[in-house]
């Protein structure tokens, strides 16, 4: 995973800084110990290799033995992994490892609920850029583990013309024209629309993907009919588990859900030290 060690090293430095005072005082010297990671609720596992890497950055001699792979559906009481090594390093890595693992499992678990909710429709669940700063690569990976699909990674790898771009360019047609002249032929252009009139403008301008932003179900159905397969249709804005099925049934191709990453609850996982 690109940039993983940089993320983990920064997290460890933030937590340990000049030293783990409690462990230095209470657990002096080298002491071998074992530990387990235990799920305390049902979840989709994501990030087990990330958790392992945290401990190995602290001490390559730590043995981290996972019992499950990412994508596994865990039940409360399941043991995710067994660890063996210097007690001090196990204690120092505990919080960073759990913070990331719990967060990634939360994203994967929530994503899986959305994917299940639209099963049998043509709609695909995708994420957004509403991620935790610095953790985007981890959270977008967790979305994939949960069965979702990644939207653009950042501002650099996709064109999404939103309302402020349209205002700055002087209209949808001009914004699309400028984007088409600037990007390579291999890149697609997406346009955010809020009305059926704007849908028509985006279609006439040659948009490859048309986003229906905060439209009601009737407007979505009409937009899908108007577009008629000439562009991919994305629904966005105010999507919840209560509404996502009805949105999918309008015939849209993509449903983007910011909640996958900005509102996912961290799953409950604990590390229990053994060997004393």
**Residues that are catalytic:** 95, 130, 162, 192, 213
Q: Which two tokens mark 169?
A: 């360019």
Q: Which two tokens mark 111?
A: 């994503």
Q: Which two tokens mark 135?
A: 């953790």
Beta-carbon contacts of residue 160 (< 8 Å; ≥ 6 apart): 152, 190, 191, 192, 211
Handedness of CA 259, 99, 9, 54 (dihedral sign): negative
Beta-carbon contacts of residue 113 (< 8 Å; ≥ 6 apart): 241
Please give the helix or strand (H or E) that residue 65 lies within, else none: strand 63-66
Interatomic CA distance for residues 94 and 77, integer angstroms: 18
Report yes or no: 13 and 55 within 8 Å, Cβ to Cβ.
no
Beta-carbon contacts of residue 46 (< 8 Å; ≥ 6 apart): 70, 71, 104, 105, 107, 108, 141, 142, 145, 146
């Amino acid at each position: 995973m690109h940039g993983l060690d940089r993320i983990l090293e920064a997290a460890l430095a933030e937590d340990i800084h000049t030293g783990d005072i409690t462990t230095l005082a209470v657990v002096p010297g080298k002491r071998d110990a074992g530990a387990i990671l235990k799920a305390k609720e049902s979840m989709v596992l994501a990030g087990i290799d990330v958790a392992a890497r945290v401990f190995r950055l602290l001490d390559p001699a730590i043995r981290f033995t996972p019992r499950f792979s990412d994508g596994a559906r865990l039940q409360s009481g399941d043991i995710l992994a067994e660890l063996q090594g210097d007690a001090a390093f196990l204690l120092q890595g505990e919080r960073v490892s759990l913070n990331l693992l719990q967060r990634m499992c939360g994203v994967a678990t929530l994503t899986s609920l959305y994917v299940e909710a639209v099963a049998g429709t043509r709609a695909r669940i995708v994420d957004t850029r509403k991620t935790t700063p610095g953790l985007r690569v981890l959270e977008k990976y967790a979305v994939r583990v949960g069965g979702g699909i990644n939207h653009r990674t950042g501002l650099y790898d996709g064109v999404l013309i939103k309302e402020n771009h349209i205002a700055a360019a002087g209209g949808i047609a001009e914004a699309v024209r400028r984007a088409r002249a600037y990007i390579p032929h291999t890149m697609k252009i997406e346009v955010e629309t809020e009305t059926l009139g704007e849908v028509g403008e985006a279609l006439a301008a040659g948009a490859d993907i048309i986003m229906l932003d905060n439209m009601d179900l009737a407007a979505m159905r009409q937009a899908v009919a108007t577009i008629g397969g000439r562009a991919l249709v994305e629904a966005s804005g105010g999507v919840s588990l209560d509404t996502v099925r009805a949105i999918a049934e309008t015939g849209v191709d993509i449903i983007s859900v910011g909640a996958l990453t900005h509102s996912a609850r961290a799953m409950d996982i604990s590390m229990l030290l053994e060997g004393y």
